[in-house]
Chains A and B, each alone.
Chain A
């Protein structure tokens, strides 16, 4: 065994990482090599110095300080989670989007039907079927009321449709919040 190899193995020897065979070969070399013996002597001194390192006591209130920080961080996290994130609640489902689209289509159709050219295209019944009777009834009602009442009725229906579309698009969480806010504002509960 050469001294260079022995020098490297001395560290493993100190850490008891050598096999029995390697240990025997190294010890045989050490017995005949004063230089490697001196090397081992110093390394043992170093290892002894390091092994004499002792644990230092931590401050008495360290545990308390750590747990205070943990509690504080948890409460901050909970608080951050409770605060609404902008647009986080704006998540309409597919069904809600379909309802909103249907309502918007109905509202648009009602406006389009006011156009005389489209109005003329509507199928005419014979005057005795249910659809025609309903249609005649509605037209009769609309012509019999005054303009202000008609505009007010249309405004109410339009607003109601608008609110319905907005609520349908807003998603369930936003709807719940809206209903709660509305109930809170009601004079009688």
Chain B
């Protein structure tokens, strides 16, 4: 199910001195131009190149495999339809990630609306889930706990952590994708990590208490 990928900078087409990044960039811009002119084969190559990164961003945002699949398709379709308007001011990948992020946010909002409608039905289920969660957490190690808690964070904090730690983006790249100033990116990262740190501290404190009691 899971596997490690290429180094992210290579997949993103970032400049690595002496690593032959320039041909990748040239190749990407050639494919983007061809796609803008309606070349489906060129777009197919772009899809092949970036589908995993886009899928993983969407998957981590939505925490649902099937929904992530659907939203990834929606992202690439929106990119294909929006390509004639893509002026190339930002990198193609940056633009693509922005679409993916916006599609994910839209899906989360739609999900929230659905959940509000089914709130009464789900209230009992939620209580049961919470019981399961509390028992499951005790069996998790720190890494798993951090990953579990990541899914509980608000989307704006979750996305910065995903872009930084999973997609290995710099502050500047994140600022471009999320169309935010770098200062805001730093603040979101700071708060997001602090929230995770507090939860980890609380969890470790609880575990120690349990050990001393036992």
Contact = CB atoms under 8 A, between A and B. Distances in A.
> Do A and B truly interact?
yes
Contacts of B60: 53
A149 B28 CA distance: 76
A13 to B, nearest CB: 12
A63 B45 CA distance: 10
A38 to B, nearest CB: 9
- Give the size range of B's interface with the partner: 35 or more
Contacts of B51: 58, 62-63, 66
Interface in B47-72: 47-48, 51-53, 55-56, 59-60, 65, 69, 72
Contact of A70 (B40, B69, B200): B40
B181 to A, nearest CB: 15
Contacts of A66: 47, 51, 72-73, 76-77
A90 B190 CA distance: 61
A172 interface: no
B171 interface: yes
Interface stretch (B108-116, B127-135, B158-166): B158-166
A56 B76 contact: no
A67 B47 contact: yes
A52 B48 contact: no
Contacts, number: 120
A50 B40 contact: no
Interface string A42-76: 11011111111111111100110111011101100
Interface stretch (B18-26, B94-102, B143-151): B143-151
- Give the size range of A's interface with the partner: 20 to 34
Interface in B84-128: none
A71 B40 contact: yes
A49 B190 contact: no
27 contacts: A11-B190, A42-B201, A45-B142, A47-B193, A48-B143, A49-B147, A50-B146, A50-B164, A51-B165, A53-B166, A54-B2, A54-B4, A55-B2, A55-B56, A55-B166, A56-B55, A57-B3, A58-B51, A58-B56, A62-B51, A62-B55, A66-B47, A67-B43, A69-B73, A70-B40, A70-B43, A74-B40
Interface of B: 1-5, 38, 40, 43-44, 47-48, 51-53, 55-56, 59-60, 65, 69, 72-73, 76-77, 80-81, 142-147, 150, 161-162, 164-166, 171, 186, 189-190, 193, 196-197, 200-201
